[in-house]
Amino acid sequence: MSLNAFLQERLEARAKSGHCRHLTIVQDLVDLSSNDFLGFSRCHRAVDTPLYGSTGSRLLTGNSRHAEELEQKIAAFHKAEAGLIFNSGYTANLGLISTVAKPSDTVVFDIHCHASMQDGIRLSKAWALPFRHQDLDHLENRLRQSKGNLFICVESIYSCDGSKAPLNEIVSLCKRYGAQLIVDEAHATGLFGLDGQGLCAQLEHPPFARLYTFSKALGAFGAIVVGSSLLRKYLINFCRPFIYTTALPYPNLHAIENGYRRLLTADPEREIIRELVAYFTEKVRLSGLPFLPSETQIHCLLLPGVRNVQEISHFLGTQGLDVRPLTSPTVARGQERLRVCLHAYNKKDEIDLLFTALEKGMPHA
C-alpha cells in the first residue's frame, strides 16, 4: 500500500470511530478551558494580540486564526501545499519521522543527520539504515536492502560541516526506489533559494516533507513541517509531540512572521554572506589549514582530539573570538572540529583576526 493510501486509511478509520481531531478557533466565549489559570497571559499581551501565551495545545485552546494563516503563508513561501508549526525543530523532526514511519518500514539516513532526525527514527522503531555522509553509492546500496515503506532523511545543508546535499540526485534515487524524501532545511532557511526559501523549492519533485526551523536565520523560535494537506491532517491526528504540548505564544508567532517578512528584502544580507564566504574560502586556501570544503556559511576546521579542539576554542576566546567545538557524540570520535558560522554582521577584519589567532594557537604551530 502506498504511503498516502496508508495515511488516508488511518485517518478514515479514525473518522469512522468519531475520534478525528481538527483544529478549531474559538472566539468570544467565556474561557472555561484554557490553562491561563492566573490570567497572566492577558496581562503580558502585546498591543495587537488578544493574549500573550497561547493558553493550551493547538487542539484545545491554543489554536488561532493567526497560527493557521501563518502556516499557510509560510507553506506558500516554501512552495508547499500545507504546513504545521511545531514548538521547535527538534520536536518537529522527532514528531514527523516517528509518526509517519512504522516499525515495518525502512528509514535510510545520512549518518550526519541531526540528532532530532535520528531520535525520530529511533522512536518510530522502523529499520534504521545509515549511509556514509553524502555517499550516493552507499545510499543506493541501502535502498536495495529496504523493506516496507521507504524513507530517506537528509539535511539540505549539513550543520556539522556546511556541505550541501546533492538533492537532485537523491530525488532521482527516490523515484527509482519509490522512497519518500524528508529534508531538514534548518541551515538553508533564509540563506539559499529565492528570498531564502531553501534548496528544495526548485526541485523537480517536491520532497514528501521538509522542515524549516525559525531558530536560526529567522532569529525566532519554533519550526514548520511542510508537505501535503494529507500529511498535515495526519500529523494533527497522530503526532504526539504536536498534540500534547502548549502551542507557541503569540509574540513568538509575530517574531516568526516578522522574520519571514524580512527575508523578502534580505538580498543585501545574503550578498554580504556570499562575499564573506568567498573571502573566508580564500583565507583557508592561503592558510593551508585543514578546513573541510564548504560553499556555505558553515566552515569546519578538523582538529581530532577533544582536548585539542577545546583548547583552541578556549584560546580563540582569549583573542575575543567565539568559535565553538563540535565533539562526540555530535560528530564521531576522531572527527572533532571547530565550527565557524559566518553572519551578515561579521566583518572581514574579524575573519583576518581568526586566521591570525589560528596560526598562533594551532597545536602544531
Q: Amino acid identity of 293? A: P
Q: Which residues 6+ apart lie within 8 Å of 130 measured at CB?
A: 108, 109, 110, 111, 142
Q: How near is the Cβ of 223 to ligand PLP at its closest, in Å?
A: 5
Q: How near is the Cβ of 39 to ligand PLP at its closest, in Å?
A: 30
Q: How far is CA 164 from the centre of its chain?
A: 14
All cell numbers assigned to 143: 535502498
**Rg of the chain (C-alpha set):** 22
Q: How near is the Cβ of 267 to ligand PLP at its closest, in Å?
A: 24
Q: How near is the Cβ of 227 to ligand PLP at its closest, in Å?
A: 16
Taking the least distance from each CB to ligand PLP, the nearer of 56 and 89 is: 89
The residue at minimum Cβ distance from ligand PLP is 89
Burial profile 254-285: b = 16 or more Cβ within 10 angstroms, e = fewer: bbbbebbeebeebeebbebbeebbeebeebbe
Taking the least distance from each CB to ligand PLP, the nearer of 223 and 225 is: 223
Taking the least distance from each CB to ligand PLP, the nearer of 114 and 337 is: 114
Taking the least distance from each CB to ligand PLP, the nearer of 97 and 108 is: 97
**Residue 340, φ and ψ in degrees, nearest 5:** -105, 125
Q: How near is the Cβ of 351 to ligand PLP at its closest, in Å?
A: 23
Partners of 127 in the beta sheet?
Answer: 106
Q: Are 208 and 227 in contact (CB under 8 A)?
A: yes
Whole-angstrom distance, CA of residue 182 vs CA of residue 151: 7
Reduced DSSP (H G I as helix, E B as strand, rest coil) percent helix, strand, coil of the chain, to 5: 40, 15, 45
Q: How near is the Cβ of 279 to ligand PLP at its closest, in Å?
A: 24
Q: Are 361 and 312 in contact (CB under 8 A)?
A: yes
First to last CA, the chain: 60
Taking the least distance from each CB to ligand PLP, the nearer of 77 and 146 is: 77
Taking the least distance from each CB to ligand PLP, the nearer of 148 and 166 is: 166
Q: How near is the Cβ of 187 to ligand PLP at its closest, in Å?
A: 6
**Residue 51, φ and ψ in degrees, nearest 5:** -145, 170
Taking the least distance from each CB to ligand PLP, the nearer of 93 and 163 is: 93
Taking the least distance from each CB to ligand PLP, the nearer of 36 and 155 is: 155
Q: How near is the Cβ of 162 to ligand PLP at its closest, in Å?
A: 11
Owner of C-alpha cell 484545545: 60
Q: How near is the Cβ of 186 to ligand PLP at its closest, in Å?
A: 4
**Interaction site with ligand PLP (CB under 6 A):** 88-90, 93, 114, 116, 155, 159, 184, 186, 213, 215, 223
Q: How near is the Cβ of 248 to ligand PLP at its closest, in Å?
A: 11
Is the bond leading into 207 cis (omega within 30 degrees of zero)?
no
Nearest one of 150, 151, 143, 158 to 113, comparing CA atoms: 158
Taking the least distance from each CB to ligand PLP, the nearer of 162 and 206 is: 162
Taking the least distance from each CB to ligand PLP, the nearer of 34 and 120 is: 120
Q: Which residues 6+ apart lie within 8 Å of 93 measured at CB?
A: 114, 116, 117, 119, 120, 184, 211
